[in-house]
């Protein structure tokens, strides 16, 4: 009986491994707005759904890295669903600001400036956590 179950598990695992899977790519990243206390990045993620039915998205998780360090991260709960047999574009906005607590003064947001470049992550960075990080330039 155990041998039959093992063969069934192998069969199912083999079939699942051969199934097409949704693929995602970072379509664009831009700076939407820049103020004294924050920068608002806007990005678009393109997801291709190979299935003939829509797939609900539980949540979208993101991380913005600069020089290998995480600057911002978060999740977007229930951003909708992937359209059947088509590409769905998801818009992700990330607001970055630096607020510190100064004695006597209280919370203070430090004005930000930026220079450098934004490097887009590779697919291995996105899905395998590969080295190199998809960070930006100097802050």
Does residue 104 lie in a domain region? yes
Domain count, the chain: 1
Closest by CA to 87, choosing from 118, 44, 124, 120, is 44
Does residue 54 lie in a domain region? yes
Does residue 12 lie in a domain region? no
- Give pLDDT tens digits along the chain (139 positions): 788 889 888 888 888 888 888 888 888 888 888 776 778 888 888 888 998 988 888 888 888 887 888 888 888 888 889 899 999 998 988 887 766 676 676 776 655 444 445 555 566 665 665 544 444 444 4
Domain that holds residue 83: 20-136
pTM of the model: 0.60
Does residue 10 lie in a domain region? no
Does residue 6 lie in a domain region? no
CATH number, domain at 44?
2.60.40.1820
The C-alpha atoms of residue 138 and residue 36 are separated, in whole angstroms, by 17
Does residue 44 lie in a domain region? yes
Contact 96, 135 (CB under 8 A): no
């Amino acid at each position: 009986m155990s041998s039959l179950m093992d063969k069934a598990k192998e069969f199912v695992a083999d079939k699942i491994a051969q199934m097409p899977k949704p693929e995602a790519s970072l379509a664009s990243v831009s700076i939407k707005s820049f103020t004294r206390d924050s920068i608002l990045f806007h990005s678009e993620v393109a997801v291709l759904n190979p299935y003939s039915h829509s797939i609900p998205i539980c949540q979208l998780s993101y991380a913005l890295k600069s020089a290998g360090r995480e600057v911002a991260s978060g999740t977007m709960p229930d951003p909708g669903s992937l359209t059947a047999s088509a590409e769905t574009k998801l818009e992700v906005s990330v607001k970055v600001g630096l607020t510190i607590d100064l004695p006597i003064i209280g919370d203070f947001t430090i004005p930000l400036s930026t220079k450098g470049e934004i490097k887009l992550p590779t697919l291995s960075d996105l899905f395998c956590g590969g080295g190199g990080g998809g960070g930006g330039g100097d802050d």
